Amino acid sequence: MARCDLLFVAQGMDATLITIEPTPHRRLPPWIRQRVPGGERYAYLKNVLREFKLHTVCEEAKCPNMGECWEHGAATFMLMGDVCTRRCNFCAVDKGKPGFLDAAEPEHVAEVVAAMKLDYCVLTSVTRDDLPDQGADHIARTIETIHARLPDCKLEMLIPDFRGQSACIARVVKTPLAVLAHNMETVPRLYRQVRPGAVYERSLRVLEMAKEFRSDILTKSGLMLGLGETREELLQVFRDLRQHRCDILTLGQYLRPSEDQLTVTRYVTPEEFALFKQDALEFGFRHVESGPLVRSSYHAWEHVK
């Protein structure tokens, strides 16, 4: 079976190319496009998700790759609901007071993954600062439940920072997890503007702790470009990530999901993304995925080859 995030046998769907709504007074460059799927199999995927009361980050974060990925049946499950307790200014996921955790969610996700006989599965979650353990046990139980049903499926989990609590990180890392991901998102100078509530050094420490708890686990992080960062600042983040033993890096263009989020400072060209990839590889990353529409889970199954 070809590797995929979550395969829903959605190949062959009809799709058209449209452009994302541009930032006011700014024309989108021609390389920024998204695929919008349609047809019976797209509807099937949505029905499966709704039936099991599951969420995808594809929908909630308005990912520009949703058309391409869903055309190939790929999706990334978002755990612990669709309301986040953080108010990051780049993200379209709803913010506020989340509801109770769905105790059946780990089994529901595992049931779908097992039914599809996946060989690679990507999970992410909202941030749940309202929970004593930040939701770490719920995440870990989901990973363990999937592994029990489908032991050969490789699992990747994109975690929040858990407020830097080592016990929470240990709970998730000490599961049958192949890749532990945590995104830096931007350079430290822009954290207060882009990621209020997050701390640059704390995010670095999250990745480092994962390696301390399990030296064999692959760690991964991602950055959005086009928010006002400089090349020198990016190179410093690359350096910091490698010093904290991060293995895999993704670089993508920030795209404003709606008028409620930060505006785009500039659109980085594909040629620049290629140069940044070379810069990052020189620091010793195991794999670098770099391009305007790259997101953390985009082609994730190829990151671990």
Question: Would residue 285 count as lying in a domain?
Answer: yes
Find the Cα–Cα–Cα–Cα dihedral 92, 97, 99, 101, rounded to 10°: 80
What pLDDT is recorded for position 53?
67
What pLDDT is recorded for position 273?
98
Q: What is the pLDDT of residues 165-203, one digit of tens each?
A: 999 999 999 999 999 999 999 999 999 999 988 999 999
Question: Would residue 1 count as lying in a domain?
Answer: no
Question: Would residue 6 count as lying in a domain?
Answer: no
What pLDDT is recorded for position 27?
74
pLDDT over threshold 80, residue 44:
no
Block residue for tokens 């704390």: 202
Mean pLDDT value of segment 219-245: 97
What pLDDT is recorded for position 10?
28
Query: CATH number of the domain that 84 lies in?
Result: 3.20.20.70
Count of structural domains within the chain = 1
Question: Would residue 7 count as lying in a domain?
Answer: no
Question: Would residue 66 count as lying in a domain?
Answer: yes
pTM flag (> 0.95):
no
Question: Would residue 71 count as lying in a domain?
Answer: yes
What pLDDT is recorded for position 118?
74
How many residues are there in the chain? 305
| Average pLDDT over all residues of the chain | 83
Q: What is the pLDDT of residues 47-99, one digit of tens each?
A: 766 777 666 655 655 566 665 555 555 567 889 988 888 887 667 677 888 88
Question: Would residue 244 count as lying in a domain?
Answer: yes
Per the structure, the complete domain to which residue 158 belongs is given by 14-302
Question: Would residue 111 count as lying in a domain?
Answer: yes
